[in-house]
Amino acid sequence: MDNIVLAGMPGSGKSTIGVLLAKALGYSFLDVDLVIQEREGALLQEILDSRGTQAFLEAEERAVLSLDCRHTVIAPGGSALCREGAALHLQSLGPIVYLNVPLEELSRRIRNMAQRGIAMEPGQTLADVLAFRDPLYRKYAGLIVDCPPRQPLDQTVQLVRSAMSASGLLR
């Protein structure tokens, strides 16, 4: 196993869990949102506001397709699996682990929807976005980890490690 890709909705903990998991495994950590911002010279929300959702998804896919790393925990944006090319490239980099967090918990965690840089069309709710993306996460994931609400971060990291070990993704 070269890399681990953490997929899931905004607020699922991909970046936070990713840093802790990388430390625990002795891996590097890569946040694809930061790659997008560096490549595009703008914050995620600025890209969405000035160029629109489709242009953002295109920029995200370009950023994902540029990835070439080893021994890295990768945290792509929540919308990365919305583009098949990006999803297949992420799969080629390593197993995709879907951090499945209930809608109610996502709603509790995300306090700044308008500034968060979430790829969603005007009028869409977080529930709408989850309903669209959940089947994609499940399609591309090699492993689904159900994350209980209000679970401490260290317990979530241990849950991910245990699930990966049990499934043979981590030795």
In a domain, 89, yes or no: yes
Total structural domains in the chain?
Answer: 1
In a domain, 168, yes or no: no
In a domain, 171, yes or no: no
pLDDT-derived band at 49, boundaries 50, 70, 90: very high
| Cα–Cα separations (whole angstroms), residue 112 to 57, 106, 169 | 20, 12, 34
Summary mean pLDDT of the chain: 93
The CATH number covering residue 138 comes to 3.40.50.300
Digit-coded pLDDT (tens) for 58-81: 999 999 999 999 999 999 999 999
In a domain, 169, yes or no: no
Domain of residue 155 covers 3-162
In a domain, 170, yes or no: no
pLDDT-derived band at 112, boundaries 50, 70, 90: confident
Q: What is the pLDDT of residue 69?
A: 96
Strands (E), 58-139: 72-75, 96-100
User: How far, in Å, CA of 98 to CA of 141, rounded?
Assistant: 6
